[in-house]
Amino acid sequence: MSIVLHDLAGADPDLRFSPYCWRTRFALAHKGLPVETLPWRFSDREAIAFSGQGKVPVIRDDGKVVFDSWTIAEHLEEQYPAPTLFGGATGRAHALFVNSWADAVLVGGIARFIVRDLMDIIDPADHAYFRSSREARFGQSLEAVQAGREDRLTAFRDLLLPIRLVLRRQRWLGGASPSYADHIVAGTLMWPRCASRFELLEGNDPVSEWQGRVLDLYGGIGRSAKRA
């Protein structure tokens, strides 16, 4: 039986762009688990009310409901140990650092480049909620948050230096093979890739080259994902 994933979608149901849902998509694919993804929009509150909270990803796995991408990864590792996502307890502890860094630094950093672009792809029913919730978060209009983004690119790219330094010594963040650490960062980068046409990375950046390798994993689910 397939695992069901409630997955953030745009007005176009095939446009899937959540940084957290992509982490889960890659983790499921890594384990070779079949998944049925259900498009979810910010206004579909009732569709995930059964989970007792209001954010995606949410999965249903054989009657068990799990939400939060990190908790889902832990659940998958426990239920389906091979192939491993973390490579043991130490790898899991290190992946938790990557997850926290991605949430605290990368997601906020990327948001300032694409948050206005998201208005162009989300469902019109989500517009008022999205604008008011995000403007309250940033304390500015979406247009003001995104303004001058070209001038901020160098500072953003500098944030990725730790990733570059790791990739200089090894092919994957997981070492010799991809692990959930790769899914966290590559899943987060699926967000700007799918939701916006603004290019955050230069083609010759080692991070872009590694991203290309992740896009081709698991039958190319990342590469073939619909883009804005």
Ligand X SMILES: N[C@@H](CCC(=O)N[C@@H](CS)C(=O)NCC(=O)O)C(=O)O
- Positions in the binding site for ligand X (CB under 6 A): 8, 18-20, 42, 54-57, 68-70, 133
Least distance to ligand X, CB of residue 54, Å:
5
For the four alpha carbons of 39, 225, 142 and 163, in that order, the dihedral sign comes to: positive
Closer residue to ligand X (CB): 57 or 178: 57
Closer residue to ligand X (CB): 42 or 80: 42
Least distance to ligand X, CB of residue 216, Å:
24
d(CA 49, CA 108): 26
Least distance to ligand X, CB of residue 165, Å:
25
Closer residue to ligand X (CB): 10 or 167: 10
Point out the residue whose Cβ comes nearest to ligand X: 55
Closer residue to ligand X (CB): 56 or 173: 56
d(CA 167, CA 208): 11
Closer residue to ligand X (CB): 18 or 179: 18
Least distance to ligand X, CB of residue 134, Å:
8
